[in-house]
Every structure is written in structure tokens, then in C-alpha cells.
């Protein structure tokens, strides 16, 4: 086997090890339209993945005065088609105790069914008139 063949098989192994890269969709944390609560949603798009179903969930984190992020709510894990919209997304929600402006993060996790995919959990951050702590 020549050096070129060794490189090619190494690259193929690396591609298989890393798998596909879905696009993890999420919105900014925001006040829910149905009450005094922080809310965030998660969804996905296929990216370079082949399969058309993924297990998706999202979690909301609130910034505390001790300089830490604390998880306040997570959605159920849903098996979703790619795309988003009101029928193809998850929802995390946490009722507020007050309306002081507070930083929140919405993290989303996507696990494509039947494929190895990347493990990142991207997030969006925004200040919301909602405080739990």
C-alpha cells in the first residue's frame, strides 16, 4: 500500500468517526405569549445528514447572581422531522417569580436517528423580563 492509500483510508475513517453534521435550530429565550414564563424552542435541519428523523430536546438556563448558569427547564425529547415550525419543534418553559430583566440561555441537542452525528449543544442567549431565583 502506498502512502496515498494510507492517507485516503485514514480520511475515510475520520469521516465515519465524525459522522454527519445536522443544523441545530433554536430561538432566543423569550417571554412566553401565554403567561409570565421564560420559553425557548428547539428544532433541526438535515445539514449533510441522510436520515430524516432526529431526537431533539432543548433546555433553558438562567444566570444567577453567584455568576453561574442554572438549568431551569427542559423540553421532552421529541422525534422530529427536519424543518422547525410549530409542529416540528420542542418547547421548554419555566414560570417566572418576577419580571426583573435576567439573562437566559436556550441550549438544543439533536441526535440524528441511525447516524453518527456531531455532539455540540449550541445555544442562544438573551435578556428576558423573567426571573426565577
- Indicate the average pLDDT of the chain: 88
pLDDT at 26 over 50: yes
* This prediction's pTM: 0.83
Average pLDDT rounded to a whole number, residues 58-64: 98
pLDDT at 17 over 50: yes
| The residue to which cell 416540528 is assigned | 88
- DSSP alpha helix (H) spans, the chain: 3-18
Q: Which residues contact 28 (CB under 8 A, 6 or more apart)?
A: 40, 106, 124, 125, 126
Range in 31-35, 87-91, 129-133 the model is least confident about: 31-35
Instruction: Give DSSP secondary structure letters for 18-45.
Output: H-B--EEEEPPPEE-TTSSEEEEEEEEE
Name the band, by pLDDT with cuts 50, 70 and 90, for residue 1. very low
pLDDT given for residue 93 in this prediction: 97
pLDDT at 33 over 50: yes
pLDDT given for residue 10 in this prediction: 43
Q: How far apart are CA 101 and CA 39, in angstroms?
A: 14
pLDDT at 88 over 90: yes
Amino acid at each position: 500500500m502506498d502512502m496515498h492509500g494510507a492517507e485516503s483510508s485514514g480520511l475515510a475513517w475520520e469521516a465515519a468517526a465524525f459522522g454527519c453534521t445536522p443544523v441545530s435550530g433554536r430561538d432566543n429565550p423569550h417571554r412566553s405569549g401565554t403567561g409570565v414564563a421564560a420559553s425557548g424552542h428547539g428544532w433541526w435541519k438535515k445539514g449533510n445528514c441522510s436520515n430524516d428523523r432526529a431526537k431533539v430536546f432543548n433546555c433553558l438556563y438562567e444566570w444567577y447572581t453567584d455568576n453561574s448558569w442554572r438549568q431551569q427547564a427542559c423540553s421532552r425529547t421529541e422525534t422530529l422531522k427536519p424543518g422547525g415550525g410549530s409542529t416540528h419543534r420542542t418547547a421548554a418553559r419555566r414560570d417566572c417569580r418576577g419580571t426583573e430583566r435576567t439573562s437566559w440561555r436556550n441550549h438544543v441537542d439533536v441526535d440524528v436517528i441511525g447516524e453518527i452525528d456531531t455532539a455540540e449543544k449550541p445555544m442562544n442567549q438573551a435578556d428576558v423580563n423573567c426571573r426565577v431565583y
